[in-house]
């Protein structure tokens, strides 16, 4: 929760903590009940079904300069990283940001987000709660990965970082759009991503193209959840997540 760029719902948290990072064949279980108020006591509160810290003193406000390196609306209201390293036994912010990013990408690699999924399978997954984390993961996997890239709190030699890179490679292969036609979307040279270019060219290209694609997409007037999307959008997207999201939206409407 402290490493998320936006408050999560209880349902999203329930599914996020249940994901086995790196397990792409994990079967989603039925709904569970996560009693956050009992687990976390007076530190958190639930407002409009979303979980928040009760007061700003529950967080450490620091390093806003890193967030200014990111473009787009994702980080506009997030002025800090969470967790205070002056407290004995503190939670390491880099480690848990990596964990959330890896959980989101792992989730999107699982069978409920296969681009060839049919209506019956979507209905089944909806009924067992497999899409509780869907909107958060689709929207925020990229900003979380960007934050991991630019943050000095994330060790680029740690096992968790290496695992995230491996998961991103698998993600690029499993969710590759077969009709993708690369186009000039304003260039791939986002300055804040240059540090990863020499580490892994394939992951750099995945992230840089997605950053450029999202920047280009913000000007378009459509809503995937309503089942309306230009074919051009599906062709320009390197991933099949939009195809899957469109199918889920159609099932929910009809």
This prediction has a pTM of 0.80
User: Domain residue spans in the chain?
Assistant: 10-253
Q: What is the pLDDT of residues 186-210, one digit of tens each?
A: 555 567 788 888 888 889 989 988 9
Helix axes 93-109, 134-150, angle to 10 degrees: 140
What is the predicted pLDDT for the residue at 213? 85
- The DSSP line for 61-129 is ---HHHHTTS-SSTTTT-----S-TTSTTPPPHHHHHHHHHHHHHHHHHSGGG-TT--HHHHHHHHHTT
What is the predicted pLDDT for the residue at 54? 65
Q: What is the pLDDT of residues 51-102, one digit of tens each?
A: 666 654 444 443 444 545 555 544 444 334 345 555 454 456 778 889 999 9
Under DSSP, is residue 51 helix (H, G, I), strand (E, B) or coil? strand
40 pLDDT band (50/70/90 cuts)? low
């Amino acid at each position: 929760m402290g490493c998320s760029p936006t408050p999560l719902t209880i349902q999203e948290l329930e599914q996020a903590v249940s994901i086995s990072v790196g397990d792409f064949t994990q079967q989603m279980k039925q709904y569970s009940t996560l009693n956050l108020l009992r687990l976390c006591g007076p530190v958190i509160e639930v407002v409009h079904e979303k979980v928040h810290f009760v007061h700003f003193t529950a967080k450490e406000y620091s390093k806003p300069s890193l967030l200014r390196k990111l473009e787009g609306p994702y980080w506009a209201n997030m002025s800090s990283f969470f967790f205070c390293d002056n407290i004995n036994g503190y939670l390491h912010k880099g480690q848990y940001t990596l964990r959330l990013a890896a959980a989101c990408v792992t989730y999107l690699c699982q069978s409920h987000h296969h681009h060839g999924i049919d209506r019956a399978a979507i209905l089944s997954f909806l009924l067992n709660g497999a899409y509780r984390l869907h909107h958060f993961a689709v929207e925020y996997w990229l900003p979380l990965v960007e934050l991991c890239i630019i943050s000095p709190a994330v060790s680029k030699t740690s096992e968790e970082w290496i695992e995230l890179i491996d998961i991103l490679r698998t993600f690029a292969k499993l969710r590759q759009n077969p009709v993708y036609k690369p186009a000039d979307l304003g260039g791939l040279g986002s300055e804040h991503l240059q540090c990863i270019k020499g580490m892994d060219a394939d992951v750099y290209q995945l992230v840089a193209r997605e950053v450029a694609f999202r920047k280009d997409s913000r000007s378009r007037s459509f809503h995937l959840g309503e089942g309306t999307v230009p074919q051009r959008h599906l062709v320009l997207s390197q991933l099949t997540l939009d195809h899957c999201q469109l199918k889920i939206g159609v099932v929910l409407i009809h």
